[in-house]
Each structure stands twice: as structure tokens, then as C-alpha cells.
Chain A
Amino acid sequence: MTDAIRQKRIVVTGGAGFLGACVVNKLRERGWSNIFVPRSRDYNLVELRQVKKLYADAQPHIVIHLAAVVGGIGANRENPGRFFYENLMMGVQLIEEGRLYGIEKLVCIGTICAYPKYAPVPFRESSLWDGYPEETNAPYGIAKKSLLVQLQAYRQQYGFNGIYLLPVNLYGPRDNFDPRFSHVIPALVKKCCDAIKAGEREIEIWGTGTATREFLYVEDCADGIALATEKYDGSEPVNLGAGFEISIKDLVKKIVALTGYQGGIVWDSTKPDGQPRRMLDTSSAERYFGFTAKTSFDEGLKKTIDWYRTNSQ
């Protein structure tokens, strides 16, 4: 059955991004040969006409919808309206037009920003609707979460096969290392590597380091998406995570050791820690399509650091 599905024409929106490029590679490795990656300059998915054009041009059997308008805390604060509108419109139209076009399956990638601000840890899929998300990320999180409602309603009314996956924070080579946008791992890797290069003897880190996070290596996430595309046809949303949590303090220790940074660390405890804990319950992904993350955290970090060193010249 999986061999037959790999002959299908597949569209990966956002397929040139940090995660998307890995998903496309993973699909190729698994024997998918008919992959189409629409670029945003050719297909602006916020425009209905261009969504229709995408279906007409690519004639897909399957769509993986990874495209998203995202940003760090600052960008989220400055563009809540745009993030809501564009993420919602891209998804809603892609799903509706996909239904009308008659595609066989749509894989939608959500975000952990959709979880309620105070969801018990680890986050279980059943908690998704138990409260309002953290306010800064809410417009983005709710826009993406609305697509889950759409897929479930379409399955009920039209028998449309849409699945919904929720990856935790990702990291890996080709991540965004620009300090204005970057997440904690690329930010720390850059700080340590740059401090070594510049001979600086001290780096400053926000918060107290007590907060804990879960990180999924980007290629493992791509694995999970490919597996779900081939094997999962359920209506329930499914978390994609690595199944461990690490405190920021311990994360810093690891990155310091792996980069060889010798200087001191200054913790600025007047700055916020963010959510105290963030970790997913990953049992559904294992149960439904046999997904567990394969890359050890040390190995993933090492590859990330190596990539940054080679590409930051």
C-alpha cells in the first residue's frame, strides 16, 4: 500500500523552508518521485485565484501544507492581524479547493502555539481546547487550530481525508540564526561560536534557566510527517515530539561543551523565562503510525553547530 502511495503526485507547500526542505528530502529518500514545491513568488496562497492555479498546475493527489507566516515574539507582537489572516486564508482555501479538486489526502501542520497557555505538561492532544493560548502567539495559533476544525468538519460532511500534526520546537542545520528571529538553540549556538571567534569572555543569557523545553531534530520531524502521510488517516490531531524535556540551564551546558566555549555565562534573571515548561505527550504518534524520534539530542546539536560553523563565514 505504501509503495502505491509513493507513486502519487504530491505538493509540499512551504517545501523550501527549514522544515519543508527536509520533508521533501525525506519523501525522495522514501521513494516519492512526483514532488512539487510551489514557491511563494509563483503561488501566493493567500489569493484564492492562485490556490486554484496551484491545483490546476500541479494536479496533486496529496498535499502537505507546511507553509506558514511565522516569527519570533517581536514579529508576533507587531503583526498579529497579518499572522492571523494569512495563516488562516492560506489553509482554509487550500483545504476547500483541495476538496473541490478532489485530492485524496491533505496533511496539515499545526503548531504547539495552539495549546492553551496553562495546559498540563506534557501537552496531550485532548487538552487542545481546554483554554486560550498564550496571548502573544494566539492569533497565529488559533488560525492554525481553525484548520483542524475545518478538516474534522470536512471529514464528517464530505469524507475528506485530512490529518493534522502538531510538531514541538524544531532545531537543526539551516535553522534561522538571525538573532532577531531565532529560537533558543540557534541563538545559543551563535552566541557561543561567535564569542569563541571574537575572543569574548562572557555571554549573557535571558532568564534564570529553570524553564524546560522539548526539541525535535528537524529531520526526525520530517520523518514523522512522511510516516503520517503514508500511514495515518485519522481525524484526531497528533503531536510530533522527541519525548524529553531539558532545562535551559542544562541546554546551555551542553552547547557550551559541544562548541568548546570557555568563557563565563551571565544569567539576566530580570528578563522573562517564558512558559515554565513545554513538552508534548508523544504516545499517539507512536501508536498511530509508529513514529519515535531517532536522533539523539547530542548528535542533533553537533550537526547544528557544525552547520553553523561551516555556513557563518
Chain B
Amino acid sequence: MKSLLITGISGFVGSYLADYCALNEQHISIHGFDISAPPNDRKAAYYYHKTDLLDKGHIETLIQEINPDTIVHLASFSSVGDSWRDPIKSFKNNTTIFLNLLEITHSLKIKCRILSVGSSEEYGIVRTADLPLTEDLPLNPVSPYAVARVAQEQLSHIYAKGFGMDIVCTRSFNHIGPGQADKFVVSSIGKQFAEIKKGKRGKLHIGNTAIIRDFLDVRDVVRAYYLLLKKGKCGETYNICSGQGIAIAQLIDLYAEISGIAPQVETRPELLRPVENPVVTGSYEKLAAHAGWKPEITLINSLRDIYAYWLEQV
């Protein structure tokens, strides 16, 4: 890995991935694409190229100049909720930016490994008997966001098989960690707890607390991506998950324990989704077998770090 390109580098995962690769690679040049500038307090030093992945001409010029041997595609409109509010924008963006990337690297004959980051949302409505989810299960996406993710994965297979491109896919489950935007549930609850603790807020606003999800710390996520770049098999798809399910209600209990407060909880209709799985948990067996990965950061430690982060921010 000598020339790494990360799309969406200014996002939550991008910063962590750049830091991880800078620390673990002895001879590397790191580049990032993003519409927004990276945070000023970032640790790793890398080339930031302000660009929109929809701008195919500009991306082509940049990729030709950078000549990456590794690309991690993180850029996306990543909120399922937003994909319901504006399906056209979300769907078009997420499929077009990935196609642009594939077309450009293919037509320029850039020899590189691409990690196509997808989502557990691709599984859609799942049967309890199928839990924890394994990669071979049929996909049944139930949001515009998830359908776009399935398209991205299928396109990866087509380009890998049809043109011999080196592409590895992931289905990444929910990530959590300090620095995540507060539109994501674990971050949002952590922020609200911090605000309540500091007397800046009354009640905890929440959607459906019965749902059970598989949450993985972002630092474990980026380690998995790094290992897949080294050891993942071309054309294969890997779950990135903790293997553990936890209900939102239990998360609230854990935050209460960490913060030492027990706030009043109020369910807000705007935080509920039209279609939602009651339970999603994944199996990381394949990732463990191919890349030697297993999660290292426990859920309670993640939540402690998230809560500490928000205490400083609010």
C-alpha cells in the first residue's frame, strides 16, 4: 500500500481510517476526497482534495495524478432516514459516485484494490431463524438507501468478474464511536445524556427502543478495513460487525450507569421509521477466517468514550 485514496475522508470513519493507515504503513502517501474539509484537529497528515465525486471530470484528473494502488470508498449519504426524506437525491448520489469511481479506474487502467463499503441494511427484513446474518443469505433491502447499497455491491461483482478489477465488498453494521454525528442513534443518546447531565436538557428523546442492533466501535471497523485491504479475497463480501445484539433500551441503561443519571424518556414520532427490522445481528466468522480479525473494543468502553466526547462538546 503506497498510495491510498479514501473517498469521504472528512467523515466519521474517514478520519479514523486515515489515522490507522498512517500509523501502520511505513511507506505511504494518503489522499482524501471530500466535499467538506477535514477536521482541523485531525491526527494524520494527508492530502485533502476538495471535490465532489459526482464531478467525473475532476475526479478523473485527480485519480490520474494520484495513481492510487488502494481505494477505500467511504463516501455516501449515509443516513437511512435521509433516504426516505429525499430518495432520489440519496439513491442517485450513492450509486453514481461509485460508478464514477469504477469507470474512471477501469478506463485509466489503474491497478488498484478497491474496498467497496456497503451496509447491513442490504439484508433488509430478516427472519429470526437467520440470525446472526451470514453473507450468503438472500438480500431483501427495504429502504432507498439499502437498495442503492445492494446496487453498489452488485456493480462491484460485475466489474470484478467482467473486467478483472480487484474489488472487495463489505456489509458494515452500525458503527459507533467518539466523533460520530448526532443523527445516529448511539451518538444522539450519548449527546443527550451529556446535555442532561450538564443541565442543558430535560428529557431524552428517542425513537423505537425495542429494536436490537449490532454495534461495532469505529476503531475496530477501520482495523477490519485495513486487514481486508491486505488479506480480503477479490470479489468477496464481508460482514463487519460485533456479533452481539443489543436493544436501544439496554443502551440507555448502560448510558445511565456510565453517567450516573436516569433521565425521563420520551418517544418522538419523527424518530420512527416507516419500515424497520426488530432485530439485526451479524456473524463475522468469514472476516475472522479470511483476515484474522475479531472485535477488540467492548461496547461499554465505546459508550464511555462517546459519553466523554460529548461531555467535552456540549
Contacts and interface: CB of A to CB of B under 8 A. Distances in A.
Interface string B1-21: 011000000000000000000
Given A267-B40, A269-B40, A118 B45 contact: no
Contact of B47 (A118, A131, A267, A269): A118
B29 A118 contact: yes
Contacts of B309: none
A122 B45 contact: no
Interface string A192-236: 000000000000000010111000000000000000000000000
Interface in B20-53: 26-31, 40, 42-48
A146 B56 CA distance: 35
Range of interface residues on chain B? 10 to 19
B2 A120 contact: yes
B67 A131 contact: yes
Given A208-B40, A267-B40, A269-B40, A120 B27 contact: yes
A245 to B, nearest CB: 9
Contact of A121 (B29, B48, B65, B66): B29
A119 B65 CA distance: 11
A208 B41 CA distance: 8
Contact of B45 (A124, A210, A267): A210
A277 B45 contact: yes
Contacts of A121: 27-29
B3 A120 contact: yes
Nearest to A213: B45
Between A118, A208, A211, A247, the greatest number of chain B beta carbons within 10 A of the residue's beta carbon is seen for: A118
A263 interface: no
A179 interface: no
Between B27, B28, B42, B67, the greatest number of chain A beta carbons within 10 A of the residue's beta carbon is seen for: B27
B29 A211 contact: no
Nearest to B39: A208
A299 to B, nearest CB: 25
A211 B45 CA distance: 5
A276 B45 contact: yes
Nearest to A123: B27
B68 to A, nearest CB: 9
B42 A118 contact: no
Given A118-B3, A120-B2, A120-B3, A212 B29 contact: no
Contacts of A269: 40
A244 to B, nearest CB: 14
A159 B67 CA distance: 37
Contacts of A122: 26-27
Contacts of A208: 40, 42
Nearest to A132: B65
Contacts of B65: 117-118, 131
Contacts of B26: 122
A165 to B, nearest CB: 21
A277 B46 CA distance: 7
Nearest to B31: A118
Interface string A40-64: 0000000000000000000000000
Interface in A111-163: 117-122, 124, 131
Nearest to B1: A120
B43 to A, nearest CB: 8
Contacts of B31: 118
Interface string A257-293: 0000000000101000100110001000000000000
A77 to B, nearest CB: 20
Interface string A63-77: 000000000000000
Nearest to B40: A208
A122 B28 CA distance: 7
Nearest to A117: B65
A297 B87 CA distance: 56
Contact of A212 (B45, B66, B67): B45
A120 B29 contact: yes
B40 A124 contact: no
Contacts of B30: 276
Contacts of A247: 45
B79 to A, nearest CB: 27
B200 to A, nearest CB: 28
B47 A276 contact: yes
A133 B47 CA distance: 15
A246 B72 CA distance: 27
B226 to A, nearest CB: 16
Contacts of A281: 27
A217 B40 CA distance: 29
A211 B31 CA distance: 13
Interface string A6-41: 000000000000000000000000000000000000
Nearest to A277: B45
B27 A118 contact: no
A103 to B, nearest CB: 37
Interface in B59-75: 65-67
Given A120-B29, A121-B29, A210-B40, 17 more contacts: A118-B3, A118-B29, A118-B31, A118-B47, A118-B65, A118-B66, A118-B67, A120-B2, A120-B3, A120-B28, A122-B27, A208-B40, A211-B45, A267-B40, A273-B45, A276-B30, A276-B45
20 contacts: A117-B65, A118-B65, A118-B67, A119-B29, A120-B27, A120-B28, A120-B29, A121-B27, A121-B28, A121-B29, A122-B27, A124-B27, A247-B45, A269-B40, A273-B45, A276-B45, A276-B47, A277-B29, A277-B45, A277-B46
Q: Give the 4 A-B residue pairs with the shortest CB-CB distance, closest first.
A: A276-B45, A120-B2, A120-B29, A208-B40
